[in-house]
Amino acid sequence: MIRIYTCRNGHDFSLPDHLCWPIASFCPSEPEALPYFCSVTDPEDAEYLLFPYYLTPMIQQMGVSATSTLIRCILPDFTHNEHKYLFFNYEDTSKPLGFNSIIFQISLNRTLHDRNAISYPYPVDDHHNGTEPNFDKLLYQTSFVGYSGSHPVRQQLADALSKRTDLQIYVETTPLFHGHLGAEERRDRQESYFKILRQSLTILCPRGAAENSVRFFETMSFARIPVLIADNTILPLESLIPYDEFVIRVPEADVERAGDHIIGWLAARNAEQVRNACLRARNAWKSWLQTARLPALVAYELEQNQISSRLREY
């Protein structure tokens, strides 16, 4: 079992309430984590020191550089124990913090990231509620419902697909990010989004402000095929999850031909093979990426980190 000490605000450091967003997707003392982690009361006995808050509000309010400086200031032993600290970053950015600590983050750039940064899935709900995925009400071969302004590739994608007549397509874009909408409009748009997702075989998952997006993981949870348009993203557990068995990848430079990639992928498979690919996406999400399985993901990645550290010592 991995020994973890959870740092305490007011005891190990001091952080104002408006910057404190408790980590909801991972807690070493929760039942799902008990098979993998042991909480200790003395930091000297710990293999890792868990910072209990997401870095997200700090980055949102101060930026990446100032957040890095703040962490170094409020954690008096950070310089000595930097390699032992464990952080979670839920902010939609791939900019490195400049830490040698373990950082689980939801968006990771393959060519520019912190040395020990680890890709972490967006936590999403399971909307199947124990029922099997349904393939009887598919109306669209592909769809996109969402904000088009977070990266140019999104609008290019929408414009290109709007000209296609050889695919059953649903595209609905909004000029505002989902989180910036009013509560009622946000609820209505989410209902529309999930309705179209259920009715679509493949879901367009272009990158946003950073490398990845929540819709990639929602697509997997719904047993649908993600069409990934994000050249440099690092997906969670790439060494374990066979993404190429159920993900259609479209290079960003080739986004205007996304429809051709989808048609080619579908033409190469019969109906049973397509359905099996959908189920593999769902099973991969259930096995590793759903919220209840995130402690197992964290444990696996920390064990791999320990192995890599020992190899570097040799």
Burial class (CB in 10 A: 0-12, 13-18, 19+), 258: buried
Helices (runs of H) and strands (runs of E) counted in the chain: 9, 11
**Contacts (Cβ under 8 Å, ≥6 apart) of 156:** 255, 256
Residue from 5, 113, 8, 38 nearest 295 by CA: 38
Q: Between β-strands 248-249 and 200-206, what pairing exists: parallel, antiparallel or unpaired?
A: unpaired
Residue from 75, 69, 68, 31 nearest 50 by CA: 75
What are the structural domain ranges in the chain?
Answer: 2-122+292-313, 140-289
> What average pLDDT does the structure give for the chain?
91
Q: How confident is the model at residue 24 (pLDDT cuts 50, 70, 90)?
A: confident
| Residue 89: its H or E element | strand 85-89
DSSP string, 193-226: HHHHHHTEEEEEEE--SSS--HHHHHHHHTT-EE
Distance (Å, whole) CA 62 – CA 66 = 6
Tens of pLDDT, residues 242-254: 999 999 999 999 9
pTM over 0.85? The answer is: yes
Burial class (CB in 10 A: 0-12, 13-18, 19+), 163: exposed
| 177-188 burial: b if 16+ Cβ within 10 Å, else e | eeeebeeeeeee
User: Is it the case that residue 311 has pLDDT exceeding 60?
Assistant: no
User: Is it the case that residue 312 has pLDDT exceeding 60?
Assistant: no
**Domain topology for 140-289:** Rossmann fold (3.40.50)
pLDDT value at residue 135: 85
- pLDDT over 70 for what percent of the chain? 95
Q: 25: alpha, beta or left, given left = phi > 0 and alpha = psi -120 to 50?
A: alpha
- pLDDT over 90 for what percent of the chain? 74
User: Is it the case that residue 51 has pLDDT exceeding 90?
Assistant: yes
Burial class (CB in 10 A: 0-12, 13-18, 19+), 153: buried
- Torsion, Cα 62 68 70 73, to 10 degrees, reads -170
The rounded radius of gyration (Å) of the Cα atoms in the chain is 21
- What are the C-alpha distances in Å from 221 to residues 8, 41, 92, 104, 288? 34, 37, 20, 21, 11
Query: How large is the average pLDDT for residues 265-287?
Result: 96
194 neighbors 178 (Cβ within 8 angstroms): no
1 neighbors 46 (Cβ within 8 angstroms): no
pLDDT value at residue 139: 95
Q: Phi and psi of 306, rounded to 5°? A: -65, -40
Tens of pLDDT, residues 87-143: 999 988 888 999 999 999 999 999 989 899 999 999 898 887 666 788 888 999 999
Tens of pLDDT, residues 59-94: 999 999 999 999 999 999 999 999 999 999 998 888
User: Is it the case that residue 204 has pLDDT exceeding 60?
Assistant: yes
pLDDT value at residue 178: 62
User: Is it the case that residue 15 has pLDDT exceeding 60?
Assistant: yes
Residue from 119, 76, 79 nearest 99 by CA: 79
User: Is it the case that residue 199 has pLDDT exceeding 60?
Assistant: yes
Distance (Å, whole) CA 177 – CA 155 = 14
Query: How large is the average pLDDT for residues 276-304?
Result: 95
Q: Give 173's strand partners.
A: 146
Distance (Å, whole) CA 94 – CA 114 = 9
Q: How confident is the model at residue 264 (pLDDT cuts 50, 70, 90)?
A: very high
**Contacts (Cβ under 8 Å, ≥6 apart) of 222:** 127, 128, 133, 197, 198, 203, 282
Burial class (CB in 10 A: 0-12, 13-18, 19+), 113: buried
